[in-house]
Homo-oligomer: A and B are copies of this chain.
């Protein structure tokens, strides 16, 4: 268990959003962090002009997943409504970025891996939305 997960567990009892599934949220935090990193690197490595859309979308996905991650790391002011709309936005962003990256996955190992990481992030956001609907 890494330092972030240990700190999150310390706060599992005092979180303002009752019924939050901590396991699902921890996976989503990890997925957002991986997405920010993969997208930042992917954007940096795209050289060709035809990769311009991909670069731009990857930069956007990095910023959105970074913001999403931070919001999940702040239990004190957590709000169901805010969380839902941000998870939705992150999911849409990550799927759009994954689709764009997949268009040139044959030519770029970065894009192929970045697309995979984006999809995992979108899936982790969907799992969060699902877990919130249950409670």
Task: Return chain B residues, CB-CB under 8 Å to A56.
Answer: 44, 74-78
Contacting pair B71 A110 (CB below 8 A): no
Contact A49 B48 (CB under 8 A): yes
Q: Is the Cβ of B96 less than 8 Å from the Cβ of A92?
A: no
The reply to whether A66 and B67 form a contact with Cβ atoms under 8 Å apart is yes
Rounded to whole angstroms, the CA-CA distance of A133 and B10 in the bound complex is 40
Q: Using a Cβ–Cβ cut-off of 8 Å, how many residues does chain A contribute to the interface with B?
A: 62
A74 to chain B, nearest CB (A): 4
Bound form: Cα–Cα A40–B48 in Å: 19
CB atoms of A44 and B75 under 8 A apart: yes
Known contacts A3-B113, A41-B4; A85/B76 CB under 8 A: no
Question: Which residue of B37, B47, B48, B89 is within 8 Å of A3 (Cβ)?
Answer: B37
Q: Indicate whether A21 reaches chain B with its CB closer than 8 angstroms.
A: no
